[in-house]
Amino acid sequence: MDMELDRISSLPGHVVDQILSVLPIRDAVRTSNLSRKWRYKWSHIPHLVFDTQCISITSEDQTIVKNKLVNIIDHVLLLHNGPIYKFKLSHRDLLGVSDIDRWILHLSRGSTKEFVLEIWKGQRYKLPSCLYSFENLIHLELFNCLLKPPLAFKGFRNLKSLDLQHVTLAQEVFENLISSCSLLERLTLMNFDGFTHLKINAPNLQFFDVGGIFDDVSFENTFLLTLVSIGLYVNGINDRNVSRGSSSKLLRFFVNLPHIRRLEIQSYFIKVISPPIFIYSTSVSLEIIKSIESKLIIFELHQFLPLFSIYVCMYVCVKD
């Protein structure tokens, strides 16, 4: 056993770091018990993930679980020595506790590039203003959060990937957030509230996935957008209130996709675009036909020219 341990210890530092980085944080910290040489090796891990694997307690008492999780995160951040490039907090028993504010403040003083926060229980967690000062952020993923940036917020200048699910933010906040992240390449929006008009101004956007209740989608400066998935979800009340005008707005969605290569249409959006819509391009003519039983329509356009224009010829007839 000692010989095997010595073999591992003699590995180059970057190899040991790579091994530790793929371990759950709980197991990585436990390596400090191997020997004195290993005592603080884990503290240089640049990627910290706190999820259900980092805590083994099975108590039904939410207070005990919460305190255990908070103590673990506090302990790791206190002893961590080096940059934290990725921080993920996603635990099924996690609530929007005030301790999260402290952790985000701590991270804002570093060089975090990837931040993932998933609050699985309770009300929307209002993000602290210090989150908006992450200057090196490349990927941001939020679940069950309330976004209200300070007035001085000028966007995440390095952000390339944004994933927002079950979030609340105002219409103006949404538009400013998207337009101020000029390097944004991937955008995912799922089950949001506070805004219904999706105005997307992102010159580097390549992937767009949206699912929720909204009135219309419009694009500006999205000439690189090639992969799109759209799903419109409504309840009974919304279904009855769909008007000819709102349907026309949604149909204009297609006109603004000149370079699309893959298009996914899901849920109620299939109903809105019925009867048939004819999409013409320089190399292909497609017909979208509503199917009552269909839940998903996918068009693969890879075989066509990379730069083609799509023109939509539509006649909308929505039953009252």
Segments of the chain scoring below 50 in pLDDT:
1, 236-238, 240, 242-245, 272-320
For 23-74, how does the pLDDT look when each residue is reduced to its tens digit (9 = 90+)?
778 788 777 766 677 777 788 889 999 988 777 666 677 778 788 888 889 9
Q: Tell me, what's the pLDDT at 157?
A: 95
HSE at residue 53, side-chain half, CA atoms within 13 A, is: 11
Count of C-beta atoms within a 10 Å radius of residue 45: 23
Reduce the DSSP state of residue 284 to 3 states and report it.
Answer: coil
Give the orientation angle of helix 99-108 with respect to helix 62-79, to 10 degrees.
Answer: 20
Peptide bond into 83 cis (omega under 30): no
Q: How far is CA 67 from the centre of its chain?
A: 27
For 204-241, how does the pLDDT look when each residue is reduced to its tens digit (9 = 90+)?
999 999 999 888 888 888 889 988 888 877 654 445 45
Q: Tell me, what's the pLDDT at 287?
A: 39
